Amino acid sequence: MIRLTNVSWRRERKASTPVLSNLSFEVPQGGFRWLLGPSGAGKTSLLSLLHVESLPSDGTLCLLDKDVTAHTHRSVLVRLRQRIGMVHQDFRLMPDLSVADNVALPMRLQHRPEDEITDEVQSILKWVGLGDQLGVRASRLSGGEQQRTAIARAIVHRPGLILADEPTNALEEPQAHKLLDMFSELSSMGTTVIVATHNEALVRRLPRPALVLERGRLVQDGA
């Protein structure tokens, strides 16, 4: 589950205006939330906080039953981040690694056995339609293929929380719909899923509660 209580976040400690102001909301384990709001509202910043890439400047954040504060030990944050799958807007693949090695990374970080990694990576890449591109270097992929690789990497290790920033903007419509079906299925199996998007057609297709941000403030809390 996710619980934020009066969380604010400043890009720099001395910055006068916070990027995120006084956010309070809760998402139960297995909940699905859209994250909506105009460009610049703070969606990516909120996802970075939930991915513990940055820490709250004020307030309390609880993720997957762990409290995260400015004093939380780095090793705890690293382990927590390993339990979260993130699809970044810019994919963030390792360009010199193959598709399969990119997708294997989260499982390798968890020291899972190599035969299990091979099986899972093959099956997830087949699922996203990249089963015949396992050995291709990520730098040679199209935008849509990079996005599908990033999605496979975010879910291969069955994380408790999946965060996705505009995960369908490089996908064809049938693939976008397939991804939505999968996110919906993962949430019904107990994974918490948060998806930031501007794509209204997508939101209409999967009506779920929305967290709506405007200028760093929550104007709808998804309850």
State the residues that interact with ligand ATP by CB under 6 A. 11, 19, 37, 39-45
Distance CA 133, CA 10 (A): 41
Q: State the nearest-atom distance from the C-beta of 103 to ligand ATP, in Å.
A: 25
Q: State the nearest-atom distance from the C-beta of 18 to ligand ATP, in Å.
A: 10
Tokens for 49?
Answer: 């906080």
* Closer by beta carbon to ligand ATP, 118 or else 169: 169
* Closer by beta carbon to ligand ATP, 9 or else 133: 9
* Closer by beta carbon to ligand ATP, 40 or else 95: 40
CA distance readout (Å), 10 to 4, 36, 50, 194: 16, 20, 15, 22
Cβ partners under 8 Å of residue 25, min gap 6: 2, 3, 4, 211, 218, 221, 222, 223
* Closer by beta carbon to ligand ATP, 19 or else 99: 19
Q: State the nearest-atom distance from the C-beta of 107 to ligand ATP, in Å.
A: 29
Q: State the nearest-atom distance from the C-beta of 21 to ligand ATP, in Å.
A: 11
